Amino acid sequence: MSRYYVYILTNRHHTVLYTGFTNDVGRRVYEHKHKLRAKFTKKYNCDKLLYYEEFTSAEEALHREKQIKRYRRGWKKNLINSLNPEWRDLYEDFFP
């Protein structure tokens, strides 16, 4: 069964929130952390995984990504706080 993810990254100072979509969140965040193939996140040093949702359908995940990207920063912060109130890097969940 295929899995797809929508995720939110930030930088060290939490000044930027980046929303993305992937079929392998561990690999994709690794690419962000090592500044591979990611112009926006490289420029703004977004490499801390704050939030993610898992889907079995690419269409659902893409729809959700677009939905989250339309939200204002305050709503995104509430979304993150609902599952990760400490704003810890969830990448450790994939690669402890």
pLDDT in tens, 52-81: 999 999 999 999 999 999 999 999 999 999
Q: Please give the residue that has the higher pLDDT: either 91 or 93.
A: 91
pLDDT score of 96: 62
pLDDT score of 1: 82
Q: Which structural domain, as residue segments, surrounds residue 60?
A: 4-94
Number of domains in the chain: 1
pLDDT score of 70: 97
CATH number of 78's domain: 3.40.1440.10
DSSP annotation of 71 reads S
pLDDT digits (tens, 9 = 90+) for 8-48: 999 999 999 999 999 999 999 999 999 998 789 989 999 99
At 82, the amino acid letter reads: S
